[in-house]
Structure 1
């Protein structure tokens, strides 16, 4: 029950981040400035935690380590965050959460293409992974292109978004911006590449706290440079006691700090598969909260697409779990839940649910 309770709390915290991101971009904050601040404050928060909890695992700081940390920060923090937050402004918090569920499926496709993951289409587990991936992609397409009848869950709405709606977008059947969807999928693609990178280099960073600290530190440097080159207006960098400061503090402390620790504990005690199966919980929370406080209208198409996406995810996880059981029973020297392939597919929420909101 401790593990279940912890993962439900993690999904609630992650859902809250997507809601806050939607509010802050609608408030007019530049996404690149938001990402720069978030990674900077996350570094300040994670650095002392690394010294406190993993002092003995501190890596040897070399130029090659900083180069790997730069690549890790670029793929795992800067690119996913900027693309996802920008796409969030053009779509909805619910769609962003639904697209995040696709990350394990995208990781499986990339791993299979790079021959880091076996497919074995002739076996039941191989077919489950392939068809699960196809279902996930199909569900995303249904979510984007099919609207259907509107679903109103509440008799009244509390719309915290002050910006006027794009009437031209609402007037069409395509209730999700194609550009926004592509940006979000691009962020998921970058994050999946980061997961594959972790398989090769994660041990060089020491423990998960040092891994997250170095990723946030190098990512913050890159994000600041990108933000300054994109927009030199210093007024964008001013913070006050408002939704912007709340979002930055929440993302840095709650997500990059507490969620990292809880996920790491759950992966160590229950395995990465246990963490992955809870990702749809956050999607349901965002859909319910978004329909209430953001006035995001649910549609038949979004419900069908979400169900298909989640079904595809669980097919892939079932196939992967069965494959790991076969490997474990036939190879005594392979430790359960510790193969690189298992980490590649299922370690998505381990370090950052918020690296991609």
Structure 2
């Protein structure tokens, strides 16, 4: 029995480590495809085409008997999910990787919990109680994370050569002359801005997704329809920029491999696993593992892309990850306080009722 319980406890942990690794490999594929000349918008469009093709049959088979009827409000919300969470978010994210580096943008993406918190405050989905430790922690974590993003953007510092001694595969035909030179300061600032905006669009998607999931509790169907909308929107964006079919042609090369991996593995296959972990352990457990991707990407980028790692990136990443954990602690503390308040309220009700019954 103990062995079974231990195995059950380790499965979500192993699943989350695997997911972070899969998402890390995605960042490398994105950078390799763009280094090969693939346009970022075309890559995003292909990603959601592959993902929709993969998820639609699964959603139809698994949820065909329990799907509630679609209303115009749900369709509009799913359209907005595709727009903010997929089309705009991924186009900004991929462009940020193109302008900077996979490690840099992965570090910036850890601001998502902080930007989600700010957006929830602005939309009044959350209240900031500064008199309580939980509220103070969430505000402090948000400020620390934003400070880390600023440090990451404006301070470079000396290069860290710790990973330079690792063996490297021969990817010179893709990576040469792309990361051997330092990132221009202008590209770094613009890339940081795009990365931070992508965090806000992702946070917007989370808020809308939370609402639509309550009235339409079919996760595979939601994912399939959002991918369909994302594919349509991303294709329209890409076609407006590139109407020449040369930009859309895929062969047996890194462009096809990157598009297929992004759609089939990082979107289609990873979603059921992520949903299982979310159902088993909750969103806080999921968030705790997000900094792992930063470590994976830093190592893989140094080995496969020959990306240089600088002190400013390390210090900024440490602040962002530290701010993330402070925000998560505040959220956990807030949930604990709320649970205690509810339990104390429930305990007080029977006492009053019994007293009244005794008087009667």
TM-score of the two chains, using structure 2 as the length reference? 0.87
> 1:159, 1:292 within 8 Å by CA — same for their partners in 2?
no
Partner of 2:127: 118
Distance, in Å, in 1 between the alignment partners of 2:89 and 2:73 is: 23
> 2:24, 2:296 within 8 Å by CA — same for their partners in 1?
yes
Higher CA-based Rg: 2
**Structure 1 SS opposite 2:65:** helix
> 2:81, 2:208 within 8 Å by CA — same for their partners in 1?
yes
> 1:196: how far off?
1.1
1:321 paired residue among 325, 328, 332: 332
Partner of 1:23: 32
> 1:176: how far off?
5.9
Structure 1 residue 222 corresponds to structure 2 residue 233: yes
Q: How does 1:20-99 map to 2 (within 5 A)?
A: 20-99=29-108
> 1:194: how far off?
0.8
> 2:79, 2:229 within 8 Å by CA — same for their partners in 1?
yes
Partner of 1:154: 164
Where in structure 1 do 4 or more consecutive aligned residues deviate above 4 Å? 156-159
Structure 2, gaps ≥5 residues long: 1-9, 346-360
Distance, in Å, in 1 between the alignment partners of 2:193 and 2:217 is: 34
1:170 paired residue among 179, 182, 192: 182
Distance, in Å, in 2 between the alignment partners of 1:171 and 1:25 is: 15
Change in Cα spacing, 1:3 to 1:80, as seen in structure 2 (3 Å) is same
> 1:12, 1:285 within 8 Å by CA — same for their partners in 2?
yes
TM-score of the two chains, using structure 1 as the length reference? 0.88
Deviations 1:273-332 (A, max 9, x none): 111000000110001111111111111111111111110000000010010011112225
Structure 1 residue 241 corresponds to structure 2 residue 252: yes
Q: How does 1:122-133 map to 2 (within 5 A)?
A: 122-133=131-142
> 1:123: how far off?
0.9
Structure 1, gaps ≥5 residues long: 335-357
> 2:19, 2:270 within 8 Å by CA — same for their partners in 1?
yes
Distance, in Å, in 2 between the alignment partners of 1:162 and 1:292 is: 11
Deviations 1:91-113 (A, max 9, x none): 00001111111101100011112
Deviations 1:76-134 (A, max 9, x none): 10001111111110000001111111101100011112211121111111111000001
> 1:8: how far off?
0.2
